[in-house]
A and B are shown apart, each in its own frame.
Chain A
């Protein structure tokens, strides 16, 4: 169970996972998405140039492009900062 994620958090999960070429089924399984939603996310990321398709025989792999690094770097910077700058939970 992945819980409730925002669309940007799902983009992050897909893009970090696809840093090495991945099959569609692996992506939806790893990112806990159904195939329809998974396809929508991949199409969107592809339209932004963040992900590319590679065909190897009859199999299609998805790979994060260099252009996505800007998004990934900003996302990591923002999330680490918001975690670091918030009060710490202690019992």
Chain B
């Protein structure tokens, strides 16, 4: 049972670390992209007096605070994952039932502490993702309505739309995975409440 639990723990830790890392990377890309989107389109609006540029500019500036928060929440979660990873690497070679139970307790405590941050991250990612998807669709609509004759311009617009849609898709995938992580730990938290009753009756018998 201990060996199985250790393998499962190691796999989960690796998966959660990867998810948090992906979230951080895409959070950073999304933040950069939102600034670029806002600034380039506001400049286009000022220079060419093109009101249509205001829409992506607004989307970019709207997404920006969400991407900042996305990034900060990711850093906060990563901090907790690294703590658990360090502790696991210390006991990895001789992980017995006791060491593993301590790791489970600490991961559970980390989850309880970071639960609200994870919920926040789920929401922020979704909002930012929706902003990028809307912008991707907007770029595609613009492309259909005013098909550029210049091949390079067409390719650039297509790439821009695909990048926006891609970031949006990842932005929707990340919260789904965090939700899966949360539901796994919620089951365990509920289990620990039942375990507490057994432990309490053992101690009361003393």
Contact = CB atoms under 8 A, between A and B. Distances in A.
A3 B113 contact: yes
Contacts of B198: 74, 78
Interface stretch (B4-12, B133-141, B147-155, B164-172): B4-12
A70 interface: yes
B80 interface: yes
Contact of A82 (B4, B106, B110, B195): B195
Interface string A45-78: 0001100000000000000000100111011101
Contacts, number: 112
Contacts of A9: 105, 108-109
Contacts of B112: 3-5
A17 B203 CA distance: 19
B142 interface: no
B174 to A, nearest CB: 10
Given A49-B206, A89-B12, A71 B113 contact: no
A1 B86 CA distance: 13
B98 A88 contact: no
Identify the 4 closest CB pairs spanning chains A and B, nearest first.
A3-B109, A82-B191, A3-B113, A4-B112
